[in-house]
Amino acid sequence: MKLKPIVKAILLAHLAAGSFATHTAIAQSAEQVSPQVEEKGPNNGRLLKEQDLTVELAIFEDGMPPEFRVFATTNGLPIAPEDIDINVKLTRLGDGIDDINFYAENDYLRGDMEIYEPHSFAVTVTAKYNGKTYQWDYDNFEGRTLINSLIADKMQIITENVEPQQFNETLAVFGTMTLAPNAVTHVSARFAGEVKELHVKLGQKVKKGQLLMTIESNESLQPYTLYAPIDGQVTKQNVTLGQQANAQTLLTISDTSKLVAELSVFPLDVQKVQVGAKVLLNITGLDAPIVTYITDSLFELNSDQAKVFRAEVDNRQGRLNAGQFFKAEIELDSYQVPMAVKADGLQSFRDFTVVYAKIGEQYEVRMLELGRKAGPWVEVLSGIPLGTEYVALNSYLIKADIEKSGASHDH
């Protein structure tokens, strides 16, 4: 018994764990069937023969959407296309039946509908000629595999459904926290004198009106007091007890309850960013991003030749500090798309980008036309119906299984 490589590896793991009896049925269901040998005709189509009738069913797609063409002969002589009636039914995995009729054109019969991808179906060909009916059935599968659900679980094949999604296009940037404008107040002496008492210290939080220090005037020798003009934190202390207070700044008090996130946006992206845009700030040490909005921008470029956009940040809990670096995502646009799939589920197949649709325990390629991307999602314009279950994670395992089985594109 020949097993697909991935299936074989998982079964060996079960054998090592002593669980062969439980999974014997799985091994049998994974057995690989040898591909049917087919005979090709002069138009590179499949030859179907019965008695003296030969029908060549070819897919034609030279500069046009794929379609069937039929060339018929009897005893080696061409049959006029108007003298034979052909019908082809394509039974697709999970997508119903394509019923194709034919009409005469030149020296062949031409199918009346496009053969859309994937070209994977069970084929039934019915021919009526000279009062007789002929029928052929065969499988033409590509990009398809069968994996038992227990094995798929072991392989961690995760599926989701094709659904509408809210897209949030974002721009990743870096930035720095700064104090808000007018958040800093410098405290100086009203009269020159000696500092007699200091009632606060560097780093201490103060309230507006709180006593800061007592100074003895050099001229009157009378003490006077200084009080905090705002709520905030003592961020600089330039004086000590006994020191002369003249015109210098004695204390600096900064209101740290509100900070400003300065976001550096490089010239290529500047036109994408608008005032009012939503911003997610990712701060090291915080469990969740901080949500804020751009309020304005600076006129001058920074040292990296980037334009600086600013967003206010609530810091009443004191979790952030001026000078702190961060990563951020600026929301550029937000909209709903009718269909989307996870980007992690995308794979390449021939010249297409695909996902693997799951129908029961079978998986098959679905060729996609893709649109916009946002975060983990990619918009789907066509190629798969809404609601289809598809492989969203570990789809590379399905691809490997199909490639090992040698499924080919039959034209």
DSSP type of residue 395: H
For the domain 149-167+336-405, what is the CATH code?
2.40.420.20
pLDDT for residue 410 is more than 90: no
Task: Kindly report the CATH class assigned to 46-141.
Answer: mainly beta
Domain 187-248, CATH among 3.30.365.10, 3.40.50.2000, 2.40.50.100, 1.25.40.10: 2.40.50.100
User: Of residues 215 and 27, which shows the higher confidence score?
Assistant: 215
- What is the number of other CB atoms lying within 10 angstroms of the CB of residue 314? 12
Residue-level pLDDT at 163: 98
Residue-level pLDDT at 118: 95
pLDDT for residue 19 is more than 50: no
Q: Would you list the domain boundaries of the chain? A: 46-141, 149-167+336-405, 170-179+257-333, 187-248
Helices 20-29 and 5-16, packing angle to 10 deg: 170
Mean pLDDT of 42-67: 94
DSSP 284-350: TT-SSPEEEEEEEE-SS--TTS-EEEEEEEE-TT----TT-EEEEEEEEEEEEEEEEEEGGG-EEET
Mean pLDDT of 46-71: 95
Mean pLDDT of 359-366: 97
Rounded Cα–Cα distance for residues 98 and 89 (Å): 6
Band (46; pLDDT cuts 50, 70, 90): very high
Domain 170-179+257-333, CATH among 2.40.110.10, 3.40.1010.10, 1.10.10.10, 2.40.30.170: 2.40.30.170
Q: Say what the pTM is.
A: 0.69
Band (407; pLDDT cuts 50, 70, 90): low
- The rounded mean pLDDT for the chain is 90
DSSP type of residue 15: H
